[in-house]
Amino acid sequence: MTPSRQNIFRPDIVLASSSPRRREMFAREGIPVRICPSGAEEHLPMELAPETTVMFLALCKAQDVAAKEEGLIVAADTVVVADGKIMGKPADEEEAFAVLSMLRERTHQVITGVCLIDNSVEPAAKRCLFEKADVVFGTYSDEELLAYVRTGEPYDKAGGYAIKETFGKYIDRIEGDRDNVIGFPMSRVLPYLKTDLEEGRRI
């Protein structure tokens, strides 16, 4: 009997995220997960490169959940970077308008850090990684941008947008992993989620 696709993945994966986009990606791959969002506060101890920042934040989230849950803990953090500077989640209409105006007709980077902690073994195993993609925005008028900002969509998203929602129509192209831009580099992480170590990888 051929095993189901679900059976090739570990049954004890804990996704430390409340992001519906990340949950959808795991469901798309047929990966069974328990959802346990992290309550870790996102405080950085020093000025870090964006790649280090996302891995550090993912590590904090994974450690927070690993203290409460047992299994393979998977945590992620995604940022938008322009000119080497992290563009956070806008707090209000003015900030969202300013950020997306600056990104108009330009290339920026989307970087996702992932941390995996397997605390089902002793000592616990840990791996952190990151994935980067370039996103090129096309043109849009101030009126179009203002209409988007007033939808309320920008406020829980890095850089003020999500490619699967309204603003996705203004993306000219993506150079890199599309899933990474959505918020999780699934193809990069997938081998670590498998039960068969001949097919998968040790974290």
Confidence of residue 46 (pLDDT cuts 50, 70, 90): low
Question: How confident is the model over 61-109, as pLDDT tens digits?
Answer: 999 999 999 999 999 999 999 998 999 889 999 999 999 999 999 999 9
CA–CA distance, 15 with 25 (Å, rounded to integer)? 11
**Structural domain boundaries, residue 155:** 5-193
| pLDDT at residue 19 in the model | 92
Confidence of residue 45 (pLDDT cuts 50, 70, 90): low
Find, among 189, 67, 71, the residue nearest to 119 by Cα: 71
CA dihedral 181, 183, 188, 193 (to 10 degrees): -160
- Give the three-state DSSP class for 123: coil
Catalytic, 92? Answer no
Catalytic annotation, pick one of 64, 77, 177, 179: 77
In a domain, 199, yes or no: no
In a domain, 203, yes or no: no
Mean pLDDT of the chain: 91
| pLDDT at residue 203 in the model | 72
In a domain, 32, yes or no: yes
CATH code for the domain in which residue 30 is found: 3.90.950.10
CA–CA distance, 59 with 182 (Å, rounded to integer)? 20
Angle at 76 between CA 105 and CA 199, to 5 degrees: 110
In a domain, 90, yes or no: yes
Name the domain count of the chain.
1
Confidence of residue 2 (pLDDT cuts 50, 70, 90): very low
In a domain, 198, yes or no: no
Looking at the chain, the whole-number percentage of residues with pLDDT higher than 70 is: 92
